Amino acid sequence: MNVDEERSRSLWMDLPSVEAPRLARDLSTDVLVIGAGIAGLSTAYELALRGRQVTVVDRGQPARGMSARTSAHLASEIDDYYRKLFGVRGEAAARAWFESQSAAIDRIEQVCRDEGIDCDFARVDGYLVPASESDVPGLREELAHSRLAGFTGAEWQERGPDPWSRLPAIRYPRQARFHPLRYLYGLLAALGSRGVEVYGDTAVDELEERDGTVVARTTDGRNITARAVVVATNSPFHLRIPIHTKQAPYRTYVIAAQIPKGAVTDALVWDTVEPGYHYVRIQPGADHDVLIVGGEDHKTGADSHPSDHLDQLERWARAMYPAMGTVTHRWSGQVLEPSDYVPFIGRSPQHELVWLVTGDSGEGLTTGVVASLILGEQVTGGEHRWGELYEPSRKMLHGLREYLAENADAARHWAAHLGGGEIDSVEELPAGHGAIARIDGTTVAAYRTPGGDLKLHAAACTHAGCVVRWNGFEQCWDCPCHGSQFSTDGEVLQGPAHRSLEPFVPETTSVRGRASEREHRPSP
């Protein structure tokens, strides 16, 4: 079970899933890759090309996690802006960022050619457009820093693409877009032809380094022994504190709508609205194009009405694109924002034989491929010139203000155990809704099913103890501290938590009411 169990479905998820069997035996392998999204599958591919025996496992089915909830922009522009990256990490880091992200797009294009993957990959321009006249000076500054970072092809245009033609824009050439699941399913086929075994519905909950190997234990008792392990699970499950204090989870929202062919320029567009900038692209179709609009980001767990963000996104899109037709898909995803804007790729803190990738910062598709290029070298005993930029053990001296702010926020959510509930009584909880309640002195995550039954769990996230929050749009529980997600049955949908929420049985008969007393089933 993974975030494929969330209520919303992305445009890409209209494709049937590629089913992988559950691991039903112990096994040994050269490299175990945990996580079958773009980071995990790309890393497995690069290692297989180097002759390594590779095994991939995922708690759900392959390519059905956050990689399926993207808007699928492939950009070497940075959504936190080059001028900010210069400020916190310097010119060398900015140049390494541009080089690595550009190389990731090139690598996807090359893999499509080498493996014959038909995924609508196309090179397109990217445009950074000002939300208002007051943002134009900052845009000029961003162009200067983009060029200093090595993006010499970036250019100033006095008129942006429609509907931003009344203001200037920065044009970034040789960006790209594709259909992410078609690409990942093509990658799965390529892995199969190279002898890589991929297992789904196989969750790992423990790693132990022992005598020059790593033993990975699954939740149903299987052991996988490997010479090296790559944790590519979006958020690393095997660390309680390191990394998680350096990044914060945010929700982002996307809609897809029909639009007449040719009505919108085939390009990537990003505006400068803060917070929660808008990002736009199209997906070509036979009879019509599909307009894909995202934005309205906010800290995970910070908003009890996430559907409002989708409504606002649609209102904005219709005002900007009057030709927009019926909205066919509405979905959300989660991104992890590092305090210094740069993801974490490399050897895992406190480990010798474990590597990780996390902190996508909203650019998970290119970052996942960057990870495969770095880890393909590092796991096989080499070094990579981008390793220093993405080093997981780096000190967060430059993003100190953001680091302190995010960790103060996490402390506040942990302290929520000491407060009251969101509702006075579970009796007032409507069908199909969840809320935090205080029952018998315990902070409880309460959900009432459409049939009227109550499902009660301890509200403490099993990763670090923060109080979870109800996500009414996705119908799940979100941890606002480090981004874990749980189903209404308490099962883990996304880490870093790897244990289900504890079931709660109230002492008070009147509160118990119709509370479900079914046996709690651990996450597969």
- Structural domain count, the chain: 1
Give the pLDDT confidence score for residue 522 in this predicted structure. Answer: 34
- Residue 454 belongs to domain with CATH number: 2.102.10.10
- Measuring CA to CA, which residue among 273, 299, 313 is closest to residue 71? 313
Q: Compute the CA torsion angle 341, 343, 344, 346 (nearest 10 deg).
A: -130
What's the residue count for the chain? Answer: 524
Give the C-alpha separation, 208 to 238, whole Å. 10
Burial letters 327-348, b for 16+ CB under 10 A, else e: bebbbbbbbbbbbbbbbbbbbb
Give the residue numbers spanning the domain of 423: 416-512
Cα 230 to the center of its chain, rounded Å: 17
Q: Does residue 485 sit within a domain?
A: yes
For the segment 405-422, the average pLDDT, to the nearest whole number, is 56
Residue 2's pLDDT is 58
Return the pLDDT at 333.
Answer: 93
* pLDDT per residue as tens digits for the range 111-123: 999 999 999 999 9
pLDDT for 476? 92
pLDDT over threshold 90, residue 7:
no
Buried b (16+ CB within 10 A) or exposed e, 94-115: bbbbbbbbbbbbebbbebbeee
51 sits in the region (left: phi over 0; alpha: psi -120 to 50; else beta) called left
Question: How sure is the predictor about 506, in pLDDT bands with cuts at 50, 70 and 90?
Answer: confident
For residue 511, pLDDT over 80 is answered with no
Structure tokens at 494: 């996304």
Residue 433 maps to a domain: yes
Q: Determine which of 195-204, 214-223, 242-251 has the lowest per-residue pLDDT on average.
A: 242-251
Question: Do 486 and 237 touch, CB atoms closer than 8 A?
Answer: no
Q: What is the pLDDT of residues 269-301, one digit of tens each?
A: 999 998 789 999 999 998 999 999 999 989 988
**Residue 362's pLDDT is what?**
83
Answer yes or no: are the C-beta atoms of 77 and 172 closer than 8 Å: yes
Decide if 461 is inside a domain.
Answer: yes
**Quick one: pLDDT at residue 516?**
37
How far is 330 from 473, CA to CA, in rounded Å? Answer: 10
- Helix axis angle for 136-148 and 82-89, nearest 10°, is 60
CA distances from 380 to 236, 358, 375 (A): 21, 20, 8
Chain mean pLDDT for the chain: 90
Q: Is residue 427 part of a domain?
A: yes
Residue 413 pLDDT: 47
Does 270 fall in a domain? no
Determine, yes or no, domain membership for 502.
yes
CB-based contact 524:204 (threshold 8 Å): no
What is residue 303's predicted lDDT score, i.e. its pLDDT? 77
64 lies in some domain: no
Cβ–Cβ < 8 Å for 291, 257:
yes
Calculate mean pLDDT across residues 229-233. Answer: 97
Residue 429 domain-assigned?
A: yes
Question: Residue 361: its pLDDT value, please?
Answer: 82
pTM for this predicted structure: 0.91
What does the pLDDT read at residue 403? Answer: 47
**Mean predicted confidence (pLDDT) in 59-63:** 96
pLDDT at residue 416, as a whole number = 52
Predicted confidence (pLDDT) at residue 138 exceeds the cutoff of 50 = yes
